[in-house]
Structure 1
Amino acid sequence: MQYHNITKDDMLNGDGLRVVLWVAGCGHACPGCHNPITWDAEGGLLFDQAAKAELFTELG
């Protein structure tokens, strides 16, 4: 799996403070998309053990 970013203190994508994993590979191609860079499933970074550890550390 590929991902683009891990946002550790997001308050824009729902109620409260949250951690967001921005994954790669969206096939919807919505007009006006704010993140068209995420459409390519091969883009971004490999979701490896280091990324998994970072994500789970932030989730507590």
Structure 2
Amino acid sequence: MDRIVHPGIEKFKQRVYNIEVSSITVGQWNRLLSSRREDSIKKSLQDYLEIREESIDELLD
């Protein structure tokens, strides 16, 4: 969508990017997840969505 220049699409993108999901806008999630900064992504997933990484051994016990 970023390669298409059209006023309606731009309006739609702005509206979607400004929607808040778990205290962060879709635009912020997009930037974070596309940054490939694993530490920041893990921290945000834990802080905002309560998702954490655990070892398989702990999960199976």
Indicate the TM-score class for this superposition, using the shorter chain for normalisation: under 0.3
Q: Which is higher, the Rg of structure 1 or of structure 2?
A: 2
Q: TM-score, normalised by structure 2?
A: 0.26
Q: Which has the higher relative contact order, 1 or 2, with Cα contacts under 8 A spaced 6 or more apart? A: 1
Q: Higher strand proportion, which one? A: 1
